[in-house]
Amino acid sequence: MSQTSSSTQVITEELRQWIVEQATSGQPPDAVLQSMLASGWNEDVAIVALEETLRGFLSEHALKNGLPPPVVVPEPMSLDRVPLLDAGDRKVPVLASMLNPRIVVLGQLLSDDECDELIEQARARLHRSETVKLDNGGSEVNEARTSEGMFFERGQTPLCRRIEERIAELVSWPVVNGEGLQVLRYGPGAEYKPHYDYFDPAQPGTPSILKRGGQRVASLVIYLNTPERGGSTVFPDVRFEVAPIKGNAVFFSYDRPHPMTRSLHGGTPVLAGEKWVATKWLREGRFD
């Protein structure tokens, strides 16, 4: 596969086949892109060819195997692997990242003062946390989730707006596709057992939930304090654990509502002290 003249580069069937062969033999997309650039492909053409070919291949694979088709999801990292991401009003360090499942651990997304202010705004409005009721889309108290919580409306306070805009910039996803921030408080012993954040397509209540904004495609759990002990966020499928450090956050995305995304995650029991988090869920479409 070689190509020299950038003005006449055409995405041929032969190129598509080569890209699929590379991907199915385990080459990460970035490595395939680097090979294409080394063979003289223009970067813009190469990225379009890669994205279109792999999306087409994955959709076909999903259709053949009875899986939901993948969708485009928010993404905080450029292909340039920069260690500091531009979030508009600040640079956010990438502390760790994983491709499958897609997880990015972020440093200091919120300042200490912002964390404290968000806790104070939420404190008086906490209720025992409820989860979405799967049969009809309502909500109910759930034993798997022993925290207290509250939802802000999107844009409800100047602080909410600042955080929402920062997140939108960071992951290149419209503010209007975001749910309002949720704040949770876990006391000693409280936990959130492993679950998926997307809505289960097999549940009868899901179509009604999806009318507003479509599926959830990514989550950000932002730590508002540092518990004395316990309270990490875990991804059991890959045995990955994120320490809850005040101001830091863990981002993860899931391109379809299916366990194959390996986005199963939970909050481990708080063993000493308390734990406060803000969760931001991003939808496929406008959440109005």
Spatial distance between the Cα atoms of 216 and 206, rounded to a whole number of angstroms: 11
CB of 194 to Zn ion, least distance (A): 9
- 148/197 with CB nearer Zn ion: 197
Distances (CA, A) of 221 to 192, 201, 249, 255, 268: 12, 23, 5, 18, 13
| Among the listed residues 265, 280, 282, 287, the single contact to ligand PD2 using CB under 6 A | 265
| Among the listed residues 148, 179, 197, 255, the single contact to ligand PD2 using CB under 6 A | 197
Spatial distance between the Cα atoms of 155 and 113, rounded to a whole number of angstroms: 19
- Which of Zn ion, ligand PD2, none does 277 bind, CB closer than 5 to 8 A by kind? ligand PD2
- Which residues partner with 251 through β-bridges? 104, 220
- Which of Zn ion, ligand PD2, none does 74 bind, CB closer than 5 to 8 A by kind? none
Cis peptide leading into residue 29 (ω within 30°): no
218 binds ligand PD2 (CB under 6 A): no
Cα–Cα nearest to 3, from 48, 37, 49, 54: 37
179 binds Zn ion (CB under 5 A): no
Question: For ligand PD2, which stretch binds (CB under 6 A), given 34-42, 96-104, 206-214, 263-271?
Answer: 263-271
Spatial distance between the Cα atoms of 26 and 235, rounded to a whole number of angstroms: 23
- 88/236 with CB nearer ligand PD2: 236
197 binds Zn ion (CB under 5 A): yes
- 169/197 with CB nearer Zn ion: 197
146 binds ligand PD2 (CB under 6 A): no
Amino acid at 146: T
- 54/256 with CB nearer ligand PD2: 256
Measured in whole angstroms, the distance separating CA 147 from the mean position of its chain's CA atoms is: 22
Q: What angle do CA 177, 180, 185 make, to 5 degrees?
A: 140
Residues that bind Zn ion (CB under 5 A): 197
Residues that bind ligand PD2 (CB under 6 A): 184, 192, 197, 219, 221, 233, 265-267, 277, 279
